[in-house]
Chain A
Amino acid sequence: MATLTRLWLRWPRGLALGWLAVVVLVAALAPYLPLPYAPAVPDLACVAQPPLGPGAHWLGTNPQGQDVLSNLVFGARTAVVLTVPAAVLAALLGAVLGGAAGFWGNAGRVPAAGGLLAGGAAWWALGGPAAGWALAVAAVGAVGCVAAARGHVRGLPTWPVPLDAVVVSTAAAVDTVPRLVLVVALAAVAQVSLPGLLLVLVLTSWPHPARLVRAQMLQVRALPFVEAARAAGLPAGRVWLRHALPHAVQPLRTALPLSIAGLLALESTLSFLGIGLPPDTASWGRLLASAREAPSAWWVFLFPGACLALTVLSLSALASQNHAPTRKA
């Protein structure tokens, strides 16, 4: 019975991992696979053709004449290239911001000299009025920074930095409007291309990991080993980076697959709506959108739909398997 239970636990996870491995492999090898047609090339003679028809279109063509199989393969590539970096970058950004906010709270302080330097330099660079005075202020700040670094003067004034309040408010602000609405609105303002879409996705996805890491950090910073490290005299930054943060990012292990799944769904929705990627970039969502033009072409809906659903399902299975199993026989 114990063996069966173990197999039962491993079986969905194995399937999920296998499917994801297939997707990633196909995405990596896409340019080298011997596909009869390129994804964006319309075959004008075989428009909206069922699978296994004449012309070596094994999975048929969509109403634009594009081969469904090559669009699936290159769509996998687009999905992997877009969503995985976006999720990882969002997780990184969220971890850094959330970790910092959780560790220092509102009690962080920054030396006033550094603030003067940065503020003065920025004012001068932007060309504000009385730029000469700004340059003088920056010079004073630079002198102060150098003095503090050399250790000549102690007890220089510091300015408080309410990091926690800022990060939480920004996260709340970004989270106010649903992500789809926000991206649709931003797409109107900016011309979105692949790197632009990546940036927009990262900027709208970081609040969730930030909240998770912040909550975990609030617990971690109260742990004895952190206190010991601080008592040993290590600088606060080092304690944060090398000791506290690795433990605070634990929740991200389950959050990352879910975040990739969410981004995949979002990217497909955007391609469906026609926002985001250029039209010659293959994408599962764009293929599904072309199914609307020819409702009788079931193959244009079935294959990309199955791929999308299976991928999201596998990612969700991965995430839920990371939890302690609560299954009862």
Chain B
Amino acid sequence: MKPCFSVILLFGTTLFLLFQGCTARRTDSASIRVRWAHDPETIDPLQLTNQMALDAASLLHLSLMQIDLSTGEFAAALVEGPPTTRLLGDSLMQLSYRLRPGAQWDGGLPVLASDVAFTLRLMFCPGLPNETPRLRFNFIRRLIPDPADPRHFKLECRGQSPEYVQASGDFFILSEAALDPQHSLRRFSLADLQARPVSATPDTALEAVGRRYRNMPPDQLPGCGPYRLAAWEKDRYLTFRRKPRWWADRLRAAPFVLRARPVQLDFLIIPDATTASLALQRGELDVFPQVPAREFARLRTLPAAKAALAFYSRASYDVVTVAFNTRRPALADALTRRALSRCFDAAGLLQATQLGEGQRSVGIISPTDRRYYNDSLAPVPFDPAGAAALLHQAGWQRAADQSRGWFRPGPHGEREALQLRVRYRANESMFATIALQFQAAAAGLGIAVALQPTESGVLSETLRQGDFDLCIRTLKGNPFMFNFMPLLHSHAVGAGNITGFGTPASDRLLEAMEAANLPVHKAVLLRRFQAMMQTEAPMIPLFFLPTRIAADRRLRGLHVSGLKPGYTAAGIERLPTASVP
């Protein structure tokens, strides 16, 4: 039967080729292969929308100051040292930087203050996707170059917050010679560009620069970082190759942030965690960051995986929180919010979703931060009876037939009903578990809860519009900056303050915290802040997440830390098998 024969032949060839492919076991590849959960979409330094894009951009470009994961502090990268601060009057601050003498672009041209000025101007150039840097760096008023030294410059900031010191160095520097050889952007001052209205007549020079920037392919955007983008297959992989002659190699005592060991870095995009774990076990992957809790625990029990892999777990600064929309009449008073906070079984959820790793907290400041964590407060317990008592205290009464829910008379005489809608990002099983547990506990009390998993794109918009009652989300933090004004200040309502919370007392406390210089003073204020948060409860912290990384045992130099991304890609080196204990 001819058709059957050809089919058999086809199958036979397929099987033969399959064997070739399947027998690839632990390959000693020269490159370090890291797993990413999804494509970075764009690695434009002006438009970094997710952590992966940030990681990619930090391999290709350098900023003035960068986070050093080995110490957990900001360290000088392109500049020689931390800036010197000078306060002018009571509203301005000057930060003085000096770029390293050896810093150069690939062609040999040095990195100068004019490049920094160009980058700042580019952030406010119309027609570019630079909406985020506009918001972040609006506090920089101008760059004052030094006529005597082209590498020395001063940044003048509007405001005197100590947070600006670290924020001012945290942007990637782009090359003026490559993007604007005619220096057409120099005609415009930074203040002009910042104040330029959207409806202004388009300027040909600005448009030309914008067009040139937008049309430049991502692998050709010049950067002074240690790697160049060798290949990028959307949704498949990105390959970075080390530049053979990088300027920082010639530095005698290169700081940690200017060291780059791997010759080639491959980031494989594997959305499914289970398949990524399988690839790790087979040796097709070297580093697997953000391992889910169960997969991590399972891998640790497998003997083959235990022998070949090393497992790291650190406390991170990401906290899972539940935010209340205090603009809703039902949630406007603190007693109701405190009552609802007792319906979350944080300890049980921590055990179920993170298998006990991670930490409970009294506020949104990590318990590992001994200086600022308020250990005299106790975390909110899971106490439905206490919640019912608090609801009674807040004036809620249960309806005559128990199934109708809780009611109370409103300020204008109408009847308020306690019916809640919970929003959270879809496709996250941790948020789904938390929401379901809250729904079950609330149903035990007789409160009707509706769950609304929302796609990430729609979620931020609905949060800003206030179209929610509770919102479960993860707040990403860091140990440097404790400026909670974008999160809880009444001026930020409609922007970052989705809870709508803001009393004069809390506003004063937040402003004082932003202005505080001395650590002692700051500690006192932060303790008061955590106590206030627990009393007012505009958002409840559930627990801090751990960061888990599983990697090939032979890799060194990962410097796993709680800070994002959790490991230093540029510091990894692979030891030969013989020398591994």
Q: Among the listed stretches B20-28, B449-457, B478-486, which one makes contact with chain A, having 4 or more residues with CB under 8 Å of it?
A: B449-457
Type the 1/0 row for B204-233, where 1 means its CB is closer than 8 Å to any CB of A. 000000000000000000000000000000
Residues of chain B contacted by A274 (CB below 8 angstroms): 426-427, 453
Residues of chain A contacted by B437 (CB below 8 angstroms): 41-42, 44
Determine which of B433, B451, B452 lies in contact with A64 in the assembled complex, contact meaning CB atoms within 8 Å. Answer: B433
Residues of chain A contacted by B439 (CB below 8 angstroms): 40-41, 280
**Are the C-beta atoms of B436 and A64 separated by less than 8 Å?**
yes
With both beta carbons as reference points, the residue of chain A lying nearest to B355 in the complex is identified as: A47
- The answer to the question of B507 belonging to the interface, with a C-beta cut-off of 8 Å to chain A, is no
- The answer to the question of A329 belonging to the interface, with a C-beta cut-off of 8 Å to chain B, is no
Closest chain-A Cβ to B277's Cβ sits at a distance in Å of 10
Q: Among the listed stretches A116-124, A194-202, A287-295, which one makes contact with chain B, having 4 or more residues with CB under 8 Å of it?
A: A287-295
With both beta carbons as reference points, the residue of chain A lying nearest to B348 in the complex is identified as: A44
* Tally of contact residues, A, Cβ under 8 A: 22
Assembly CA distance A278 to B436 (angstroms) = 11
- The answer to the question of A30 belonging to the interface, with a C-beta cut-off of 8 Å to chain B, is no
Determine which of A48, A63, A66, A278 lies in contact with B452 in the assembled complex, contact meaning CB atoms within 8 Å. Answer: A278
Closest chain-A Cβ to B233's Cβ sits at a distance in Å of 25
Type the 1/0 row for A19-61, where 1 means its CB is closer than 8 Å to any CB of B. 0000000000000000000101110110110000000000000
**Are the C-beta atoms of A280 and B352 separated by less than 8 Å?**
no
Closest chain-B Cβ to A182's Cβ sits at a distance in Å of 19
- The answer to the question of B429 belonging to the interface, with a C-beta cut-off of 8 Å to chain A, is yes
**Are the C-beta atoms of A279 and B435 separated by less than 8 Å?**
yes
Residues of chain B contacted by A279 (CB below 8 angstroms): 432, 435-436, 451, 453
Determine which of A42, A48, A63, A294 lies in contact with B436 in the assembled complex, contact meaning CB atoms within 8 Å. Answer: A42
**Are the C-beta atoms of B440 and A42 separated by less than 8 Å?**
yes
Residues of chain A contacted by B352 (CB below 8 angstroms): 42, 44-45, 47, 65
A-B contact pairs, 17 of them (CB 8 A): A41-B436, A42-B352, A42-B433, A42-B436, A44-B345, A44-B437, A45-B352, A65-B433, A274-B427, A280-B436, A280-B439, A280-B451, A292-B272, A293-B274, A293-B429, A295-B274, A296-B298
**Are the C-beta atoms of A66 and B436 separated by less than 8 Å?**
yes
With both beta carbons as reference points, the residue of chain B lying nearest to A40 in the complex is identified as: B436
**Are the C-beta atoms of A64 and B440 separated by less than 8 Å?**
no
- The answer to the question of B184 belonging to the interface, with a C-beta cut-off of 8 Å to chain A, is no
**Are the C-beta atoms of B429 and A64 separated by less than 8 Å?**
yes
Closest chain-B Cβ to A265's Cβ sits at a distance in Å of 22
With both beta carbons as reference points, the residue of chain A lying nearest to B440 in the complex is identified as: A41
Residues of chain B contacted by A45 (CB below 8 angstroms): 348, 351-352
| Interface size class of chain B, counting residues whose CB lies under 8 Å from the partner chain | 20 to 34
**Are the C-beta atoms of B294 and A294 separated by less than 8 Å?**
yes
Given A42-B440, A66-B436, A278-B450, do A48 and B294 touch, yes or no (CB 8 Å)?
yes
Closest chain-B Cβ to A159's Cβ sits at a distance in Å of 45
Residues of chain A contacted by B345 (CB below 8 angstroms): 44
Closest chain-A Cβ to B421's Cβ sits at a distance in Å of 11
Interfacial residues of chain B within 412-449, with CB under 8 A of chain A in the complex: 426-427, 429, 432-433, 435-437, 439-440
Name the prevailing secondary structure of the A interface residues.
Answer: loop
Closest chain-A Cβ to B439's Cβ sits at a distance in Å of 6
**Are the C-beta atoms of B440 and A40 separated by less than 8 Å?**
yes
Assembly CA distance A64 to B353 (angstroms) = 9
Residues of chain B contacted by A64 (CB below 8 angstroms): 429, 432-433, 436
**Are the C-beta atoms of B429 and A63 separated by less than 8 Å?**
yes
- The answer to the question of B349 belonging to the interface, with a C-beta cut-off of 8 Å to chain A, is yes
A-B pairs, top 7 by smallest CB distance, nearest first, are A44-B348, A41-B440, A44-B352, A42-B436, A47-B352, A279-B451, A42-B433
Closest chain-A Cβ to B137's Cβ sits at a distance in Å of 34
Kindly list 6 other residue pairs between chains A and B, CB separation below 8 angstroms, not including A42-B440, A64-B433, A295-B274: A40-B436, A42-B352, A44-B348, A65-B352, A279-B432, A280-B451
With both beta carbons as reference points, the residue of chain A lying nearest to B452 in the complex is identified as: A278
Residues of chain B contacted by A66 (CB below 8 angstroms): 436
Interfacial residues of chain B within 514-542, with CB under 8 A of chain A in the complex: none
Residues of chain B contacted by A294 (CB below 8 angstroms): 294
Type the 1/0 row for A137-175, where 1 means its CB is closer than 8 Å to any CB of B. 000000000000000000000000000000000000000
Closest chain-B Cβ to A256's Cβ sits at a distance in Å of 33
Closest chain-A Cβ to B465's Cβ sits at a distance in Å of 14
Closest chain-B Cβ to A158's Cβ sits at a distance in Å of 50
Residues of chain A contacted by B450 (CB below 8 angstroms): 278
Residues of chain A contacted by B294 (CB below 8 angstroms): 48, 63, 293-294
Residues of chain A contacted by B272 (CB below 8 angstroms): 292
Assembly CA distance A296 to B278 (angstroms) = 13
Interfacial residues of chain A within 273-308, with CB under 8 A of chain B in the complex: 274, 278-280, 290, 292-296
Residues of chain B contacted by A63 (CB below 8 angstroms): 294, 429
Assembly CA distance A150 to B521 (angstroms) = 93
**Are the C-beta atoms of A38 and B440 separated by less than 8 Å?**
yes
Assembly CA distance A47 to B348 (angstroms) = 11
With both beta carbons as reference points, the residue of chain A lying nearest to B458 in the complex is identified as: A191
Closest chain-B Cβ to A321's Cβ sits at a distance in Å of 32
Type the 1/0 row for A63-78, where 1 means its CB is closer than 8 Å to any CB of B. 1111000000000000
Residues of chain B contacted by A41 (CB below 8 angstroms): 436-437, 439-440
Assembly CA distance A44 to B294 (angstroms) = 14
Residues of chain A contacted by B432 (CB below 8 angstroms): 64, 279
Residues of chain A contacted by B274 (CB below 8 angstroms): 292-293, 295
With both beta carbons as reference points, the residue of chain A lying nearest to B272 in the complex is identified as: A292
Assembly CA distance A274 to B440 (angstroms) = 21
Interface centre among A45, A278, A279, A294, by most B CB within 10 Å?
Answer: A279
Assembly CA distance A295 to B450 (angstroms) = 30
Residues of chain A contacted by B348 (CB below 8 angstroms): 44-45
Interface centre among B345, B427, B437, by most A CB within 10 Å?
Answer: B437
Assembly CA distance A292 to B274 (angstroms) = 8
Assembly CA distance A42 to B436 (angstroms) = 6
Assembly CA distance A295 to B439 (angstroms) = 27
Type the 1/0 row for B113-148, where 1 means its CB is closer than 8 Å to any CB of A. 000000000000000000000000000000000000
Closest chain-A Cβ to B384's Cβ sits at a distance in Å of 14
Assembly CA distance A40 to B432 (angstroms) = 10
Residues of chain A contacted by B436 (CB below 8 angstroms): 40-42, 64, 66, 279-280
Residues of chain B contacted by A42 (CB below 8 angstroms): 352, 433, 436-437, 440
With both beta carbons as reference points, the residue of chain B lying nearest to A65 in the complex is identified as: B352
Closest chain-B Cβ to A63's Cβ sits at a distance in Å of 7
With both beta carbons as reference points, the residue of chain A lying nearest to B444 in the complex is identified as: A41
Assembly CA distance A272 to B127 (angstroms) = 41
Assembly CA distance A66 to B348 (angstroms) = 14
Residues of chain B contacted by A48 (CB below 8 angstroms): 294
Assembly CA distance A63 to B352 (angstroms) = 9
Closest chain-A Cβ to B453's Cβ sits at a distance in Å of 6
Closest chain-B Cβ to A322's Cβ sits at a distance in Å of 34
Assembly CA distance A296 to B450 (angstroms) = 31
Residues of chain A contacted by B426 (CB below 8 angstroms): 274
Assembly CA distance A42 to B352 (angstroms) = 10
Type the 1/0 row for B141-178, where 1 means its CB is closer than 8 Å to any CB of A. 00000000000000000000000000000000000000
Assembly CA distance A45 to B440 (angstroms) = 14
Closest chain-B Cβ to A56's Cβ sits at a distance in Å of 16
Assembly CA distance A48 to B352 (angstroms) = 10
Closest chain-B Cβ to A273's Cβ sits at a distance in Å of 10
Assembly CA distance A293 to B294 (angstroms) = 9
Residues of chain A contacted by B453 (CB below 8 angstroms): 274, 279
Assembly CA distance A243 to B448 (angstroms) = 51
